[in-house]
Amino acid sequence: MSRAAGLARALPGAELARLLPLSGGDLSEISRADLADGRSVVLKTGPLARAEARMLSALAGAGARVPRVLGTDDGLLVLEWLEPAPASAPAWEDCGAMLRRLHDRHGAAYGWEEDFAFGPVAIANAPLPDWPSFWAERRLAPALPHLPARLARRVEALCTRLPERLPARPAASLLHGDLWSGNLHFTAPGAALIDPACYHGDAEADLAMLALFGRIPAAFLEGYGPLAPGWETRRPLYQLWPALVHVQLFGAGYLGLAGTLLERCQA
């Protein structure tokens, strides 16, 4: 299916004038489409387009700034184009406040109503009644078959200790689920959240992912507000999952990161 044909079905009356590739398409093809009527939209291809549209709707309903979903077709998501702007300190503070609003929206259980995926890496979201079980069974354990034997044994052993290391029943916050800096899109009104992988869980999981590849700006934390005591010891437990996903997606170059995080988990 051509993107022009998919666009015509997802956004009736739209006529494609120009297509420009956008960065960030490691797991899906993302383009800016300039239309004949002068509008610009974002086209994102992938098998879970409609699931992502539902996640964006959930985020918007919780008060987050997200691109509006303009239409979907099989394998194609059409989104509002948001003009980028610099990431200023006030914008970071606004982003922190927005994420706090998101995390204050709670679900009835840990998980999500449907599974998701990062490219070929499946994300199981079937609810479980307690949080350590969810993190072990739905997040860490699925990576075990894809890891070197020694590392897999260490992760498996960690899973058995999670009830001692994580809160049993924290608030089931609405999470973005893939909150690294590349999924924060700064605009003139403030930061917008893009490319979600939503589920309900401990809010610290989002914050840990945001800190995995860089320091969280102080302005963001001012907007977000205080963190729960003990967050420092829990952060590597939450960072381990995206590190294991990176091993599966991008190869052995991320085994060192996973090993370092395991050491911190055991400290």
- Residues catalogued as catalytic: 178
Q: Strand 116-118 vs strand 76-80: parallel, antiparallel, or unpaired?
A: unpaired
The 3-state DSSP class for residue 230 equals coil
| In contact, 255 and 243? CB cutoff 8 Å | no
| In contact, 262 and 155? CB cutoff 8 Å | yes
Q: How far apart are CA 22 and CA 66, in angstroms?
A: 17
Measuring CA to CA, how many Å separate 155 from each of 54, 162, 219? 32, 11, 34
Q: Hunting for tokens 């956008």 — which residue is that?
A: 22
Buried-state track 171-207, b at ≥16 Cβ within 10 A, e below 16: bbbbbbbbbeeebbbbeeebbbbbbbbbbbbbbbbbb
